Chain A
Amino acid sequence: MSFFGAGAAGASTEPKDAELVDPPSDSISSLSFSSSPQSDYLAVGSWDNQVRIYEVNAQGQSQGKAAYAHDAPVLDVCWNKDGSKLFSGGVDKAAKMFDLGTGASQQVGVHDAPIKAVRWVEAPSGGILATGSWDKMVKFWDLRTPNPVASVNMADKVYSMDVVYPLMVVGTAERHIQIINLNNPTSIFKSMSSPLKWQTRVVSCFPSATGFAVGSVEGRVAIQYIEDKDSSSNFSFKCHRQDHNGSKDQQAVYAVNAITFHQGYGTFSTAGADGTINFWDKDSKTRLKTFPRNPGPITATAFSKTGGIFAYAISYDWSKGFSGMVPSLPNKVMLHSVKDEDIKKKPRK
């Protein structure tokens, strides 16, 4: 099977991906695997206001374990380091914490506008929840007091945020990208305009914390290193575009909705509004795998902690506005068993 080139037809030789049981009843906004050593738990945030937690295994079997609700659609979910607590944020402007042991959920943070991103920060002095919002703020919560322990004014509405300690990258509206060194979390370490030309959709940090990937609405991803001395390694590439009429003079340029890194290899996935998913190696600048096109946009992706399972959500991403909300669109989370040869790095040419 060819790993390079467009749309390798692997569907007939590969086992089909497994469907998560009892998925949400509306679009999936976010996926996050926990890192508990006992089992893989997958948290799913949805536009049906619910956060659902499933136990999944490498054979693709799944079972619902718990659920709790926000008062409005959920936009992001994340686990703490030992997988004992799950955090969520959404359109109700609230950040909630769910305790897996007690089954209780409580509000732990609030903003003046919907919370678009939540991330756990495992600082040496203790764990902190970071939240990013359309109110143009990033706030940090110690979960013990109702007020944030720190707040940062961002350049514009927070669209995406990712943390690999001590690196925090925030992508906002109007193409601002801001970097925070979590050793000094109340100041902006570096601000820049996006390396891409159109609206930022997603930012995702390298597991090495030496840089990050940016995805935009223009079917393009940029790889960006933090240190100026590595800036010659920065590059961008086109993806998630479909030819029109068989020619490259006209393209359907889809948004990149999700980018997630494989913790072990530092390779990464991209997923788009066109329903396709790719695995990439940024160091050899190669595409490692193309998934068969799915019957709907991909709205979220996640690797399990050991990288053996890749989860992806097929659901409507509002990329065509209200009129694109048709009943035939699925709301599914798929579990893909990751083959090592599909995700490991390729030698540089």
Chain B
Amino acid sequence: MATMPQRQTDYRFFSPAIPIVIDNGGFNFRAGWAGESDPRITFRNLVHRPRHKATGEMVTIVGDHDPALLKYFDCTRSSFRSAFDSNVVYQFEIMEYVLDYAFERLGAEGSQVDHPILMTECVCNPLSSRSKMAELLFETYGVPSLAFGVDAAFGYKFNQQKGICSEDGLAICSGFTTSHIIPFVQGEPVLEACSRTNVGGYHVTYYLKQLLSLKYPYHISSITWEKAEELKLEHCYVSFDYAAELKLFQKGTKEAEEKTTFWQLPFIPPSQEEEPSEELARKAALKEKQGQRLRDIAALKKFTRISELESELHDLEDLVQQLEEVEEEEIYPFLSTTVYNSRQELESAVHRVTQSLRKARGEPLESEDKLDTSLSEKYSLINVPDSELTPEQLKEKKKQIFLKTTSEGRLRAKQKKFEEELLREKQNQQDEEKRLENPELYLEETRAKYRDLSERLEQRKRLKTNGSRSNGNNNSSGGIGRGERLNSAQKERMRLLTTAAFDRGKGEDTFGAKDEDWQLYKMMSKDYDDDDDSFEEDEAELGRLTTRLQEIDETFVAKSDMELLQGTLEIPWPRPLTVEDYKMTLGIERFRCPEILFQPNMIGVDQAGLDEMTGVSLRRLSTQYTEAKNSMCNSILVLGGSSIFPGLESRLEAGIRKIRPYLSPLKVVRSMDPVLDSWRGAASYAAAMEFPTQIFSIQDYYEKGESGLRQYQIKYSL
């Protein structure tokens, strides 16, 4: 990419007869004086209109920019715009900016640009584009005369002058957005037989960029357009035989490894954990202090609670004492002053407070034997047979039975829990022993158990959701409805529903009267899973295994974390990132990207590639030129910015040889400078003496206008 062109200072030394030669390319814009060997100014044919941060005004920047200076501008709203759509100029406002810049860099002075202009255009430029360009040049810049020509043709003529190709030949020009094949007969291009494919250097770079971004989504921000272009220029090549080259890489041969290049991104290892020991000690001390503080607060709270409870207990005991001293008749009035209504309540309150005191102190809870004594009092009516009781007492008895059964149930549950705890403790102990004696085996076993369990859970989950977890497009399975119906559980449900409906028959719907109906209903319900309980158990087991493994195994990654990382195509990394992860491999991308010039189908462009296009072009030549075909194939010239891939000519030769008759003459050469030859050819054309006969002057424009432009066609051999 060119650096910023300097302002030329010798504009006034060029007489108004000397034409300015412009190569208006899709990639680079080149301009200079006729007769010189190199263009004076070259820049990217792009315009950028950012907003200046300080003043807020919109400014225009043409061509390459210095990234350092861009910090003064807000580039978020604006993007680089080109005047081209494919290879045709359509945006003349941008074209005007570009021309402004070009003339200014050339040092233009005076009230108008007073030189004839030779401009390049694409093959068979649509009339509206050509006329708008003419209008721009004539009316805004005051140019006295114009000439339009095809850049590839100029390049060919230039090489013909140098003797690289002859007057009958073929030009294969691969540009930025398109590639052309132009046959030449007796020095003139035969435009009827031209052919164009809409694949060019832009598509190659874009393809490379997309391939790398998809392969390394982690580094997607480092793979910019400019970087992809750089990589393309440096590393891409055209393979002589694409299929064979692919096989080399597929087998992973040594040759393939030699051809692979790597791109190492800058890698900064994450800050190490080994800080200087003072730091560590300080941090540890801080943590310790915080822990201590927390513990102090907890102890304080506990202490206050204990003292509160103690005082309460003390009060209650006093009350009990007083109660005992007081006589029978005075119990109620005495008690009414306090909160408690009967002696029993008081005693239960005492009991409660002692229990909580014990808990606060951390002593084990004593069993509920105190309750037992009151139990027998409460349930006194149970043992008495029904016949001896009044109706009220019967009710009382029922209540007591109920209470007893519930409390017994509670007791039983507590006991069971206690037993389970013991069992689990025992199991844990066993596990620990096993682990201590054979850590490796234990690890393996746990891992295997974890794997099995997680797979089972996954399977069940998959059955439930019908397997549509990652790929949202169910198109091939015929839509959601059909997919659901195929599930076995769903099938079972449907069967139940239909049989139930069938059995019911017409008439009243008595579903729900019998108990079996409720069973059926449960089975039919969507939310019911007969595996429900075991499902939950398995999940609990899985959770336990996960924590266990996380404790003892460093390389363990929980399944849920793995799923998050499956967005990338790479293996999830439980280990920290290394230098290796920042290295990008360019293996088959090196020759896969330029291959699209020969096989545009690879990117979905339904046209013939370069070698096939030559056949098409030769076929399009009318029969009068048949004898010339042999001599034409003897001088095939390759030009254009996107033809500098190594190996292109040999590939082209092989491809064209397949199309031509056996042993007919064939020679493919590259032009001297594929990039600059077009401009040089145009410059030497403009410097020729007969050039003024080929121009379209401003008078012609005013007289004939557009139709004059339509018929305008230059003769290339002067």
Q: Do A and B bind each other?
A: no
Q: Which residues on B are within 8 Å of A, measured CB to CB?
A: none
